[in-house]
Amino acid sequence: MKISALLVLLLSSTAFAQLQLPDLSPRAHFKQTIGYTNFELQYGRPSLRGRIIFGALVNYDKLWRTGGGKCTLISFDTPVTIAGKQVAAGTYAFLTIPGKSEWTILLNSDTSKVYGDPSEYDVTREVARLRVKPEATGQSFESLTIWLDHKQYDAELFLAWENTRIHFTIATRSHEQAKAKINEAISRDPLNYEVMAEGAHYYNMLGEPSAETLKLIEKSLSVRENRWAYHQKIDLLEKSKRFSEARATALKAIAFLKKEKPDGEGWTESINQIENQMKRWPK
């Protein structure tokens, strides 16, 4: 009887060890390109499951590995700036110290630790530290959620769980690089009207000073009349409420489109768009 009971126990233990159940903190992995920088994030996503998180499951004022399982990892392939400090390209452990009124964000070059206990943290490997204010969310986040958003030409990292959210900016310097590329391309080929129009479009979409953007558009048109530059100039003048100049430009654009008929049948759509814009303007 004893041998039979032992055999049953061993078989039961083997079956239990082979049982595959859903991961309670499944690993998330996503990539995002912002500007010229490729970001990558890996983290475990624990869920509420009816529990109180901050101040209970996650203690205030204590190092938190910021996720389930292994520590959260953030990677970027170009140098970035966080809280005024430049951080080299690489992969870092992303940790936090949550507080009622303030959180501390930490990036550490030691990615080998689980960081289940504050004693694992080596401050000499720290590459960035900043403080942020937590915000109440308008919804309850069942699972820990981390994502990246565009903030003009930089990255904004968001973290939300339960009813709390934090965020901070990761500056990529992409805009400075883009401006340098535009200036270099124009210097290399000063008669390339398409590059000028493309550069103007970039500046316009980011809300750069309209006078500088308009100057680039007009330079493109001075080299060669083109549909894209005309549309941009009309839009920019409309935004600036310079309606008489916008109307004169619109009429000039329509005459050009009717004469040249660029881009196949697309020129008729351009004329319709411009004429509809003109209807909105005061006489």
pTM: 0.84
Q: What is the largest CA-CA distance in the chain?
A: 103
- In angstroms, the CA 250 to CA 230 distance is 8
pLDDT tens per residue across span 24-57: 999 999 999 999 999 999 999 999 999 999 999 9
Q: Residue 111 pLDDT more than 70?
A: yes
What is the average pLDDT value for the chain, to the nearest integer? 92
Query: 3-state class of 43 per DSSP?
Result: strand
The DSSP line for 118-175 is GGG--GGGEEEEEEE--EEEEEEEEEEEEEEEEETTEEEEEEEEEEEEEEEEEB--HH
Q: Residue 16 pLDDT more than 70?
A: no
HSE, side-chain direction, 13 A CA sphere, residue 139: 6
pLDDT of residue 13: 53
- In angstroms, the CA 229 to CA 225 distance is 8
Residue 8 parent element (H or E) = helix 2-17
Give the Cβ contact number of residue 59 at 10 Å. Answer: 12
The CATH number of 174-280 is: 1.25.40.10
pLDDT tens per residue across span 50-91: 999 999 999 999 999 999 989 999 999 999 999 999 999 999
For the segment 259-282, the average pLDDT, to the nearest whole number, is 88
Query: Which residues are registered as beta bridge partners of 168?
Result: 157
Domain residue ranges in the chain: 23-170, 174-280
Q: Which amino acid is at 123?
A: V
